[in-house]
Amino acid sequence: MTLKQLENLVKIDEDMTNPENGTYYNKRTIEQLLEYGLILIDKPPGPTSHEVVAWAKRILEIPKAGHSGTLDPQVSGVLPLGLGEGTKALGVLLMGPKEYHALGRLHSLPSKEKLEQILELFRGEIFQKPPQRSAVVRQTRSRTIYELELLEQKERLVLLRILCEAGTYIRKLYYDMGELLGPGGSMIELRRSRVHQFNENNLVTMHQLADAYATWKENKDDSKLLKIIRPVEETLSEIKSVVIRDSAIDSMCHGAQLAIPGVLQISQYLEKGDLVGIYSQKGEIVALAESLLSENEIKEQTKGYAFQTKRIIMKPNTYQKIGVQVHLQKSKKLFPKGLLFAIILGVVSGPIFGIILYEYGVEDQLVYVDGTSLSIVTEKTNFTLGEPISITIVNSGTDELKFPDASYGLIIKQLDSIPIFSPTAAQVISNLDSHEDVTFVWDQIKNNGDQILEGTYKITSKAITLDGSIIEKIVIIHVFK
């Protein structure tokens, strides 16, 4: 099943997703849903909204949960609960309308025609000052009543259905209607029947939640709980969407802004300033962001920032960094076709060496960025003797990089010593376009008959930028027995 918001998107580019990273949004385990889940609670009259959240946390044995839109203690109805990181998405629900069914008493007995005239005055934009018993500053504010329907009138008792903007005070609405009629009016009972796109269908009580969780814990039967906990992505079905590459996800989770090369699909009619959900190719919500460009601008441009991150939802390291594993569709080969180059290191028959790689002297740049950026990428951090080691040089920026001769590209040497490896000029390409890469394979064999000693080695890559300056990336390798 595809999320509503991910249907009919505009394709910007194509890429594959790594099945080893992340989880398809509709195939999460209970443990994962407890971190990225949504529950639609049928709040009973009596407890506060915060008490309902506290009960849910105790029942589900989780440290973090939250609700969207506070209901007064005596009000019942739809109360969305976010679980774990899912709480960060609940703010989107405040952007949509809320629906209430309210029973009130008017202190006079108006005719149905008179009552309809009064109701017409309250449709559209109105101005309200919160009641004296309210949790906010009492200042006049504008609110919109989208629909106001008289469901039933029985003498002075009036039952209304109200579809309104978030933050509308329904009891104040009855009070103001009563003032217009003369003697006054007051609200008796209130139930919230809709929050944005969520209505009373599929609501669950606290007792049902407790029973489903106990069934899962005691009998390992998750069927009930899977029907109750929904993917948090359902919260975002009414805002526009963007799907991004796997390689861009972790950098966003660490606070990087999303550039155009990381975008795969966008919603139709996207406009500058729109709030969007940023999704993985598996449908997982990564972050909320504001669009800096329109649909047409994104399709026409090839570089630059496209979205400003507003709220990160996915936990860092859910997807591997590009520095741990690289999967690029475009790739330039450093060598002539069919030639596999080996960097000479180690001893064929001798002690087994391990290798630890770590960053040295510069900040990690293994993310796609706007502008100029060069990255050195290895597939993992620990190796043993005889295992080939792939070293990839990546243009991780949006500007072209040039490698004019053998002093650029890749150089390996022991610290404070002469180089032990540098490719020949014939093996160096002239340039790398944005997101293109070149790969060396480092075999642990003899190096011109000289044994590589235990110690620390430096891998350096240099390139020339469009303005003629030199950019350099360094990685340190420690070889030990």
Do 235 and 4 contact (CB within 8 A), yes or no?
Answer: no
CA dihedral 130, 134, 135, 141 (to 10 degrees): 0
The three-state secondary structure class of 54 is helix
Cα–Cα distance for residue pair 236/224, rounded to 1 Å: 24
Please pick, among 42, 72, 399, 443, the residue that the annotation labels catalytic: 72
Structure tokens at 176: 């103001």
Compute CA 153 distance to the chain's CA centroid, rounded to the nearest angstrom.
47
- Give the DSSP H or E segment for 265: strand 263-266
| 364 noted as active-site residue | no
State the amino acid at position 250 in one-letter form.
D
Indicate the DSSP class of residue 261.
Answer: G
Q: How far apart are the first and last CA of the chain?
A: 52
Cα–Cα distance for residue pair 43/61, rounded to 1 Å: 20
420 phi, psi to nearest 5 deg: -100, -10
Taking CA 313 as the corner, what is the angle to CA 262 and CA 20, rounded to the nearest 5 degrees?
60
Structure tokens at 56: 């849910």
Compute CA 296 distance to the chain's CA centroid, rounded to the nearest angstrom.
23
For the chain, count helices (H), then strands (E): 8, 29
Cα–Cα distance for residue pair 260/341, rounded to 1 Å: 34
Residue with tokens 């006054």: 184
CA dihedral 420, 426, 427, 431 (to 10 degrees): 120
Structure tokens at 115: 């009552």
State the amino acid at position 85 in one-letter form.
E
Rg over alpha carbons for the chain, rounded to the nearest Å, is: 30
Do 234 and 83 contact (CB within 8 A), yes or no?
Answer: no
Catalytic residues: 72
